[in-house]
Amino acid sequence: MKCWRFLAVSALVLGSLSAQSGAPQGGAPQSSAPQTQSSASQSNAPQSTPPPDPRKEMRYSLGLVETRTAANFQAADSIEANLAAEGSTLHPQLVTLRLRIQAALDEARKALAKDDLRSAGKAIQRAEAMLDRFAAKIGGS
């Protein structure tokens, strides 16, 4: 009984998969008509996509760094709270690094507001490099 149920379900799944992929159902052979040159060239023709907007890409890059920064700063806050419960504090280098990361991100935001993509890119790169060091020190990503 279970074997028949399995076969019925398998047949239904395979039938729906072949229908979705465009293959004919029932095992009927596809026509072996040769493709015309125009249909083959249409499928190989490069898609015309507009060039990417550099400002949009820079804002996206900044958003990714800011998201990663927020996660690492939240982890550092948690570590700091645990240390405070034990009567300790974060190492001063971590506090300084955190402030430098925030300053670099602020600089990137200001540069983007002025459409200075070169300065914004440099500030984002600095922030990323400092964030990598910060994350390594706290054991984050």
Which CATH number belongs to the domain containing residue 101 in this structure?
1.20.1270
User: Does residue 15 form part of some domain?
Assistant: no
Stated pTM of the model: 0.62
In a domain, 88, yes or no: yes
pLDDT at residue 37 is higher than 60: no
Total domains in the chain come to 1
* Residue 38 belongs to a domain: no
Distances (CA, A) of 117 to 20, 57, 87: 45, 10, 44
Domain annotation covers residue 23: no
Give the domain range for residue 94.
54-138
Q: Which is higher by pLDDT, 29 or 141?
A: 141
Residue 46 pLDDT level (bands cut at 50, 70, 90): low
pLDDT at 108 over 70: yes
Going by pLDDT thresholds of 50, 70 and 90, the confidence category of residue 11 is: very low
Is residue 81 in some structural domain? Answer: yes
User: What value does the mean pLDDT of the chain take?
Assistant: 78
